[in-house]
């Protein structure tokens, strides 16, 4: 399977903020929003390339891209299918994180959606009240106490951190579907994840395009949004602005 590409849409799954997960996009660092970006010059170069790829494939809101727009139900099907294929890897990571409850629930989801959900194209498990719970080895590393490391922008995959990039590599090796499936099937799984990523990009077009193409500095927007959302997902400290300690707001 492809935790690799699945990360792509995973960061996007919420639809509202997540854009940053897709393609990465220096401005001033807001006070208190700490992060480490020593490779900024290099990261900006990768970001620019990613944005050009995005523009070619999906368009920028002005011009259309070369990928045709999937009808909504088809897009949902792609997303559900790839998410279901990622479930075994999610279970392995929840076990490594010593979190049995989500491990059991995701196993149950996988069984329900693979059978009743016709191979994972539909998501009846959510309708039954078993919500999606996605994770990855980056989160496992965080649970084990590893720090976030520096911010990096990966080619195609977009915003990441050193910890998350290590996680992506380990997920490839950890994923049962990746290791157990014979080669043609694992290639199909990669294709499914790519289709899912494209579908997520289209479903969240307004948001992604506002960050990449309408921001004064898309790179800085993608960085702050990715890092804040990722820290929230991992239950790490959420950056809070105290207006009574803000020297500028009046």
Nearer to another protein by C-beta: 110 or 174? 110
Separation between Cα atoms, residue 43 and residue 66, nearest integer Å: 26
Which residue's CB is nearer to another protein, number 13 or number 181?
13
Of 152-160, 162-170, 179-187, 229-237: span binding another protein (CB under 8 A): 229-237
* Shortest distance, position 232 Cβ to another protein, whole Å: 2
Residue 72 neighbours by CB distance under 10 Å: 11
- Compute the distance between CA of residue 24 and CA of residue 10 in angstroms, rounded to an integer: 14
Instruction: Looking at residues 107 to 146 of the shown chain, list those that interact with another protein (rule: CB under 8 A).
Output: 126, 131-132
Query: Mapping DSSP to helix (H, G, I), strand (E, B) and coil, where does residue 93 land?
Result: helix
- The tokens for 61 are 């809101």
Indicate whether 41 belongs to the interface with another protein (CB under 8 A): no
The reply to whether 80 sits near another protein by the rule CB under 8 A is no
- How many other CB atoms are there within 10 angstroms of residue 145's CB atom? 6
- Residue 97: alpha-carbon gap to chain centroid: 19
Residue with smaller CB distance to another protein, 50 or 200: 200
What CA–CA distance (Å, rounded) separates 136 from 86? 10
Give the count of residues interacting with another protein (CB under 8 A): 46
* CB-nearer residue toward another protein: 43 or 178: 43
What is d(CA 25, CA 211) in angstroms, rounded to the nearest whole number? 8
Residue 192 makes contact with another protein by CB under 8 A = no
What minimum distance in Å lies between the beta carbon of 153 and another protein?
A: 16
Residues 200-219 that bind another protein (CB under 8 A): 206-207, 210, 214-217
Q: Which is nearer to another protein, 94 or 230 (CB)?
A: 230
Interaction pattern, residues 4-23, with another protein; x per rule: CB under 8 A: ---------xxxxxx-----
Q: Which stretch binds another protein (CB under 8 A): 52-60, 93-101, 154-162, 225-233?
A: 225-233
- Please tell me what DSSP assigns to residue 100: H
Instruction: Decide: 212 and 25 in contact? Cβ < 8 Å.
Output: yes
CB of 183 or CB of 240, closer to another protein: 240
Alpha helices (runs of H) in the chain, residue ranges in sequence order = 3-10, 40-58, 72-96, 100-115, 124-127, 137-143, 162-174, 176-180, 183-203, 205-214, 218-233
Give yes or no for a contact between 201 and 22, defined as CB atoms under 8 angstroms apart: yes
Radius of gyration of the chain (CA): 18
Asked if 232 interacts with another protein (CB under 8 A), we say yes
Residues in touch with another protein (CB under 8 A):
13-18, 27-31, 33, 72, 76, 126, 131-132, 206-207, 210, 214-217, 220-221, 224-225, 228-233, 238-244, 246-250
């Amino acid at each position: 399977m492809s935790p690799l590409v699945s990360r792509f849409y995973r960061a996007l799954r919420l639809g509202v903020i997540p854009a940053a997960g897709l393609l990465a996009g220096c401005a001033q660092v807001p006070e208190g929003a700490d992060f480490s970006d020593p490779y900024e010059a290099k990261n900006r170069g990768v970001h620019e390339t990613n944005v050009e790829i995005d523009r070619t494939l999906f368009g920028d809101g002005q011009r259309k891209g070369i990928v045709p727009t999937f009808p909504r139900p088809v897009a949902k099907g792609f997303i559900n299918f790839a998410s279901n294929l990622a479930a075994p890897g999610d279970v392995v990571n929840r076990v490594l994180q010593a979190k049995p409850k989500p491990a059991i629930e995701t196993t149950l989801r996988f069984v329900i959606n693979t059978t009743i959900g016709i191979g994972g194209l539909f998501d009846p498990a959510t309708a039954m009240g078993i919500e999606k719970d996605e994770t990855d080895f980056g989160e496992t590393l965080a649970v084990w106490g590893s720090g976030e490391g520096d911010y990096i922008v990966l080619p195609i995959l977009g915003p990441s951190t050193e910890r998350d990039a290590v996680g992506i590599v380990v997920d490839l090796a950890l994923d049962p579907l990746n290791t157990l499936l014979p080669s043609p099937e694992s290639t199909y799984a990669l294709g499914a994840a790519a289709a899912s990523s494209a579908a997520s990009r289209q479903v969240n077009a307004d948001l992604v395009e506002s960050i990449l193409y309408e921001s004064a500095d898309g790179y800085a927007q993608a960085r702050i949004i990715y890092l804040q959302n990722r820290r929230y997902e991992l239950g790490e400290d959420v950056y809070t602005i105290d207006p009574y300690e803000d020297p500028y707001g009046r």
